[in-house]
Amino acid sequence: MRAAHYIGGAFLPDDATTTMFPLVDPVDGTTVGQVPEADRETVDAAVRAARAALEGAWGATGPEERAIALHRIADTIQARFDAFVDAEVSDTGKPRELAATVDIPRAIGNFRAFADLLRARPEHSWSTAVPGWSTGTGQALNYTVRRPLGVVAVVSPWNLPLLLLTWKVAPALAAGNAVIAKPSEETPSTATLLAEAIDAAGLPGGAFNLVHGHGTDAAGAFLTSHPGVDAIAFTGESATGSAIMREAAGHLTPVSFELGGKNPALVFADADLDAAIEGTVRSAFTHSGQICLCTERVYVERSRYEEFVTRIGARARELTDYGPMISAAHRDKVLSYYRLAVEEGATVVAGGGVPHFGDRRDQGFHVEPTVLTGLPQHARTVQEEIFGPVCHIAPFDTEEEAVRLANDSRYGLAATVWTRDLSRAHRVAPRIDAGIVWVNCWNLRDLRTPFGGAKDSGIGREGGTWSLDFFSEPVNICVQV
Ligand code: NAD
C-alpha cells in the first residue's frame, strides 16, 4: 500500500524533494511503508483545486447528482471491501473482525446514509401576509435554499480511520462542498484507497482532495489555519481542538468538533449483572479501549460492587485476542497512566503491564487490559482520558451520588446506564452531561441521530440532518407576490 496525496483529480507522484515519513505496523513495530508529508505549497495546491471545483463542474451539481455520486462511492468501496479491510488492519493492528464488521461497513453506510438523507430532506417555505397601502392585504413567499459552505477541511484521528473520515467527508460532499481531507499520520492507507474509490466513482477533480502529514506545525495546521478554508470538521483530542480553534478564530472559520471523553458507566443493583458485565467488557476493551466512546469510569451500586469487580477482573484476564496501541508513543502514554494509578494508590485487579505473547507481537505496542479500583474521584487516573484498555471501578450508594460522580468530569461525550428499572433509566439518562446516553447497551448507533459531546468533548452535533446543517448555510429568499 502506497500513500499518496490526491489533488485536483490526480495522485501526486513523489519526487526527490518530497519529505517522507515511515509507516509503522503497531503489531510488531516494523516499518511497512513511507508516507509523503504535505508542505505548505501542497496544501495551497489542494485549496486552489477545491476552490476551482466549486467554481466548475462540482459547484454546478444538484442534490440528486450528488446523491448518485455518493452511492457510487459506496459501491466502489464495497467492490474493494477486502483491500480496505487489509489496509485498516495493517495501519491499526486492530482485529480483522472489527475492521470487517464495523470500520469498513460503516464507511460504506456513511455514504449511503447521507445520500438518502439528502434526497429525503424537506425544504421550508412560509407565506407571509403583507399589508398593502392601496390594494389591501398582499402576500410574500419566503423560502430557504441551502448553499454549501465552500472549501471544507476534514481532519481525523487514527482510531477508526476510514469510519471517522467518511463520517465527515460524506455529508460535506452531499451538501455540495469541496473537501480537503487530512487523515492521521498514523493511518494514511484507507484514506488513500478512499481517494482511489472517489476517483473511480468519477467525481469531478478537486471535489475531494487528500493530503497526508502530521498535525502541529505541519500539514494539519497548514490546512486548518488556511485563509482559503471555509469550515473545519475535526475529530481528535480536546487539546488539539483548542489549538485549531485558536488558529481558526483569525478567519472566523466555523468549526465542528468531536473531541475526547472519559465516559462513565452506571451499574445499578437492579441491573441484569451478566449483561452489565459483558457490556462493560465490550465498552472498556473493544479496540483495546481506543474508541472515543469507550468506558473508562465504572460506578457500581455498593451491594453488587464486590461481585462486579471480581467478575470483570476475571473477564479482563481471559482476553487474549486484542490489538496493540497505535504507536510506541501512545503505548508509553498508557503505561505511564498504569504507573500513575499505582502511585495514586490504586489496586490493580487485572493487567497493569505489558503482555508477553512469545511471538512477533512482543516487538509491538500491546498493553494488558487493566481493571483498577480504590482511587478517589479526584485522582488524575479517574479524571484524565487515557485512551487505552483500562477502567476504574468505584462504588456508589444512591442515585443522586451516581449522577454526581458521572458528571464530575471536564468531558461529556457518552455514558451507559445499566438498570432494569424503566423509571430510573428515564430519570437518570437526561441528567447526565453527555451527548449520548446508552441504556442497557453500548455503541448502538443510528446514523440519523445527533452525535457529539458536551463540555470539553466537542462543539456542535453531527449525524443525520445535523451534519447537513453544519456543512451548509440556509439562504432565505423573499418574493413579494
Ligand atoms: P489528535 O488530536 O492527536 O490528532 C487528530 C488529527 O489532528 C490528526 O490527523 C493530527 O495529525 C491532527 N492534528 C494534530 N495537531 C494538529 C494541529 N495543531 N492542527 C491541525 N491538525 C492537527 O488525536 P488522535 O490521537 O489522532 O486521536 C485520539 C483522540 O481523538 C482521543 O482524544 C479521542 O477521544 C478522540 N476521538 C474523539 C471522537 C469523537 O467522536 N468525539 C472520535 C474518535 C477519537
**pLDDT tens digits, 56-66:** 999 999 999 99
Residue nearest atom 19 in ligand 1 by C-alpha distance: 221
**pLDDT tens digits, 87-117:** 999 999 999 999 999 999 999 999 999 999 9
pTM above 0.85, yes or no: yes
Q: How far apart are the first and last CA of the chain?
A: 60
Q: At 107, which CATH number?
A: 3.40.605.10
Please state the rounded mean pLDDT for residues 330-344: 98
Nearest to 158 by CA among 296, 361, 365: 365
**pLDDT tens digits, 362-402:** 999 999 999 999 999 999 999 999 999 999 999 999 999 99
Strand residues in 98-251 grouped as ranges (E): 125-132, 136-148, 151-155, 178-182, 208-210, 231-235
Place 445 in a pLDDT band, splitting at 50, 70 and 90. very high
- Give me ligand 1 centre to Cα 13, in Å: 27
* Domain extent for 281: 263-447
**What is residue 203's predicted lDDT score, i.e. its pLDDT?**
98
Residue 308 confidence (pLDDT) above 90? yes
Residue 417 confidence (pLDDT) above 80? yes
Parallel/antiparallel/unpaired status of strands 231-235 and 151-155 = parallel
Q: Which atom of ligand 1 is nearest to the CA of 240?
A: 2
Query: Do 209 and 126 belong to one domain?
Result: yes
Over the chain, what is the mean pLDDT?
97
Q: How far apart are CA 180 and CA 258, in angstroms?
A: 18
- Give me ligand 1 centre to Cα 82, in Å: 26
**pLDDT tens digits, 193-242:** 999 999 999 999 999 999 999 999 999 999 999 999 999 999 999 999 99
Count up the domains in the chain and report the number. 2
Place 118 in a pLDDT band, splitting at 50, 70 and 90. very high
Query: Do 280 and 254 belong to one domain?
Result: no
What are residue 89's DSSP bridge partners?
Answer: none
Residue 136 confidence (pLDDT) above 70? no
Query: Do 233 and 292 belong to one domain?
Result: no
Query: Do 254 and 267 belong to one domain?
Result: no
**What is residue 15's predicted lDDT score, i.e. its pLDDT?**
84
In-domain check, residue 452: no
Q: How far apart are CA 208 and CA 48, in angstroms?
A: 12
In-domain check, residue 330: yes
Residue nearest atom 16 in ligand 1 by C-alpha distance: 215
Q: How many CB atoms lie within 10 A of CB 266?
A: 28
Query: Do 319 and 231 belong to one domain?
Result: no
In-domain check, residue 414: yes
**What is residue 14's predicted lDDT score, i.e. its pLDDT?**
86
**pLDDT tens digits, 249-284:** 999 999 999 999 999 999 999 999 999 999 999 999
Query: Do 120 and 193 belong to one domain?
Result: yes
Which of 37, 91, 155 has most ligand 1 atoms within 8 Å of CB, for mutation? 155
**pLDDT tens digits, 31-61:** 999 999 999 999 999 999 999 999 999 999 9
In-domain check, residue 280: yes
The dihedral region occupied by 243, where left means phi > 0, alpha psi between -120 and 50, and beta the remainder, is: alpha
In-domain check, residue 1: no
User: Within 6 Å (CB) of ligand 1, which residues are found?
Assistant: 155-159, 164, 182, 184-185, 214-216, 220-221, 224, 235-237, 240, 243-244, 258-261, 292, 385, 387, 413, 453, 457-458
Query: Do 356 and 278 belong to one domain?
Result: yes
In-domain check, residue 179: yes
Query: Do 185 and 332 belong to one domain?
Result: no
Residue 137 confidence (pLDDT) above 80? no
Residues forming the active site? 258, 292
Residue 1 confidence (pLDDT) above 70? no
Residue 135 confidence (pLDDT) above 80? no
Please classify residue 227 by burial: count the beta carbons closer than 10 Å to its beta carbon, then call 0-12 exposed, 13-18 middle and 19+ buried. exposed
Which of 235, 331, 332, 334 has most ligand 1 atoms within 8 Å of CB, for mutation? 235
Residue nearest atom 28 in ligand 1 by C-alpha distance: 236
Place 138 in a pLDDT band, splitting at 50, 70 and 90. confident
From residue 63, how far is each of 51, 146, 295, 324 by CA, in Å? 19, 10, 39, 42
- Give me ligand 1 centre to Cα 440, in Å: 29
In-domain check, residue 434: yes
CB 373 within 8 A of CB 347: yes
Which of 292, 333, 365, 385 has most ligand 1 atoms within 8 Å of CB, for mutation? 292
Query: Do 316 and 392 belong to one domain?
Result: yes
Query: Do 200 and 313 belong to one domain?
Result: no
- Give me ligand 1 centre to Cα 446, in Å: 23
**What is residue 134's predicted lDDT score, i.e. its pLDDT?**
61
In-domain check, residue 337: yes
Please classify residue 28 by burial: count the beta carbons closer than 10 Å to its beta carbon, then call 0-12 exposed, 13-18 middle and 19+ buried. middle
Query: Do 95 and 242 belong to one domain?
Result: yes
